[in-house]
Copies of this chain bind each other. A is one copy, B any other.
């Protein structure tokens, strides 16, 4: 085996693994959008069988030999080997039967969570959550090999980040967010919420148009309804879902824009990287930076909402908001609500910090599952000043834990932080960007992101990806400055 052959053989093996991984994503999408309701046991078996094939391929002992022999001829090949090595080491640490048990459990756990949330019945979910946590802790211990199990889980989503680095960042953000929140809530003039009835069909039509406005490529994607908005897939097939609440059209519109950010990132990656490890967004945090900058820095800017106000008046008639300024204030209304996904840009990060502390404690064994509801409710009261009125507004609100996604939540705020950095750099490169957004033209911004960041996929590690795009070291500073500037203006503080 020559070194060149080793690299080629490794990449050929990887190519099939990547293709099978995309099949798994497609099954997941189908489960949430199209699958008949009584098919969940079958889907569990299908996913478990595919997971076992994937696990065998990812832990194939030949990979170790190929990695020993292979040499990289260029920067992309170096990145490929880095990703494969990281993933191989990660996967060989977890026994096949544990990986399979986790896949089967989490596929049924989601249904149990959804039923429990619908019935506001914590007790119906706790036994399942206990099992999920037990298996994920087992997995985390295999991965950590004596280190911190929670750090080992974070590494899956955000290579290079740890619980401690995230905690340090959160500690730096928290006082400024809390101070800003206090000033905003004390402001004399509070914007009114949206009210009225916005028919589902009309919402979906506008959300498709918004997707097109943000450059979503419908020849390689589609939009469907699902309980939880998400995006899935890459290369030639990256689909998104959205949801509709007829009393709150912004739920649908901003879910759509958010997922368009994720999907557009995947669709913008250099097609030469298709079916390789670098042919994906490089981490959850960087991914979230794209969805957030589409949704917030662009989509909730006064420039863009000005255009959107005109569009909505045309489509929905008079909906009780008289001016573009009032519309921007309504869209960006700050309120200590129960639900993370509906939170404003200030409270959102406080939601994440709370989940981060709780799940870190769960994984470390410092918090028992039976005590989770009380811990959640106490923390929410102290952070948000409001008592949780029902579990679906509290610990049952998010799908993540039922899927075993521990270590994932902090990447949302990391994404906000990265989006803050990117927005600072983008505005410096494109000083007239507000004029374009005010015309409903996102192209200069989305092209800047494509060129500076999206096309590279996983070529660089996460922080390096942001650093390369921005030209400076990423930190929480730009996000905090952006938020302080934005809300000081909106609330006339």
Q: Which residues of A contact B (CB under 8 A)?
A: 15-17, 19-20, 22-23, 26-27, 30, 34-43, 45-46, 48-50, 52-53, 217-222, 235-237, 239, 274-275
Copies in the complex: 2
Task: Identify which of B20, B41, B218, B221 contacts A46 (C-beta below 8 A).
Answer: B20
* Given A42-B235, A49-B20, A236-B42, A36 and B275 contact (CB-CB distance below 8 Å): no
Contact check, A236 vs B49: say whether CB atoms are below 8 A apart.
no
With a cutoff of 8 Å between Cβ atoms, the chain B residues found around residue A53 in the complex are 16, 20, 53
With a cutoff of 8 Å between Cβ atoms, the chain B residues found around residue A35 in the complex are 237
Can you list 17 A-B contacts (CB < 8 A)?
A: A15-B45, A15-B49, A19-B48, A23-B23, A23-B27, A23-B46, A23-B50, A26-B27, A30-B30, A34-B34, A36-B220, A36-B221, A36-B236, A38-B220, A39-B236, A42-B274, A45-B275
- Taking the closest CB of chain B, its distance from the CB of A260, in whole angstroms, is 14
With a cutoff of 8 Å between Cβ atoms, the chain B residues found around residue A50 in the complex are 19-20, 23
With a cutoff of 8 Å between Cβ atoms, the chain B residues found around residue A43 in the complex are 237
Given contacts A34-B222, A35-B237, 19 further A-B contacts (CB under 8 A): A16-B52, A19-B45, A19-B49, A20-B50, A22-B42, A23-B46, A23-B49, A26-B27, A34-B34, A36-B220, A36-B221, A36-B236, A36-B237, A38-B219, A38-B220, A39-B237, A42-B236, A42-B237, A53-B53
Once the chains are docked, how many angstroms separate the CA of A42 from the CA of B42?
Answer: 25
With a cutoff of 8 Å between Cβ atoms, the chain B residues found around residue A275 in the complex are 45
Contact check, A219 vs B46: say whether CB atoms are below 8 A apart.
no
Contact check, B30 vs A46: say whether CB atoms are below 8 A apart.
no
Task: Identify which of B36, B49, B220, B236 contacts A222 (C-beta below 8 A).
Answer: B36
Once the chains are docked, how many angstroms separate the CA of A101 from the CA of B458?
Answer: 30
With a cutoff of 8 Å between Cβ atoms, the chain B residues found around residue A27 in the complex are 23, 26
Q: What DSSP secondary structure best describes chain A's contact surface? A: helix
- Taking the closest CB of chain B, its distance from the CB of A59, in whole angstroms, is 15
Once the chains are docked, how many angstroms separate the CA of A27 from the CA of B29?
Answer: 12
10 tightest Cβ-Cβ pairs between the two chains A and B = A19-B49, A39-B237, A42-B236, A38-B219, A39-B236, A16-B49, A19-B45, A19-B46, A38-B220, A36-B220
With a cutoff of 8 Å between Cβ atoms, the chain B residues found around residue A38 in the complex are 217, 219-220, 236
- Taking the closest CB of chain B, its distance from the CB of A66, in whole angstroms, is 18
With a cutoff of 8 Å between Cβ atoms, the chain B residues found around residue A52 in the complex are 16
Contact check, B36 vs A218: say whether CB atoms are below 8 A apart.
yes
Nearest residue, chain B, Cβ from A23: B46
Task: Identify which of B34, B39, B235 contacts A220 (C-beta below 8 A).
Answer: B39
- Taking the closest CB of chain B, its distance from the CB of A182, in whole angstroms, is 47
Nearest residue, chain B, Cβ from A35: B237
Once the chains are docked, how many angstroms separate the CA of A239 from the CA of B235?
Answer: 27
Contact check, B30 vs A26: say whether CB atoms are below 8 A apart.
yes
Once the chains are docked, how many angstroms separate the CA of A293 from the CA of B236?
Answer: 41
With a cutoff of 8 Å between Cβ atoms, the chain B residues found around residue A218 in the complex are 36
Once the chains are docked, how many angstroms separate the CA of A48 from the CA of B48?
Answer: 20
Once the chains are docked, how many angstroms separate the CA of A15 from the CA of B17?
Answer: 21
- Taking the closest CB of chain B, its distance from the CB of A434, in whole angstroms, is 32
- Taking the closest CB of chain B, its distance from the CB of A489, in whole angstroms, is 40
With a cutoff of 8 Å between Cβ atoms, the chain B residues found around residue A42 in the complex are 22, 235-237, 274
Interface centre among A17, A35, A221 (most CB of B within 10 A): A35
- Taking the closest CB of chain B, its distance from the CB of A217, in whole angstroms, is 8
With a cutoff of 8 Å between Cβ atoms, the chain B residues found around residue A220 in the complex are 36, 38-39
Interface centre among A15, A48, A49, A217 (most CB of B within 10 A): A49
Once the chains are docked, how many angstroms separate the CA of A42 from the CA of B22?
Answer: 9
- Taking the closest CB of chain B, its distance from the CB of A487, in whole angstroms, is 39
With a cutoff of 8 Å between Cβ atoms, the chain B residues found around residue A17 in the complex are 49
Nearest residue, chain B, Cβ from A237: B39
With a cutoff of 8 Å between Cβ atoms, the chain B residues found around residue A41 in the complex are 236
* Given A19-B48, A20-B53, A22-B46, A36 and B239 contact (CB-CB distance below 8 Å): yes
Once the chains are docked, how many angstroms separate the CA of A235 from the CA of B39?
Answer: 8
Once the chains are docked, how many angstroms separate the CA of A475 from the CA of B237?
Answer: 49
With a cutoff of 8 Å between Cβ atoms, the chain B residues found around residue A48 in the complex are 19
With a cutoff of 8 Å between Cβ atoms, the chain B residues found around residue A46 in the complex are 19-20, 22-23, 26
Once the chains are docked, how many angstroms separate the CA of A42 from the CA of B18?
Answer: 11
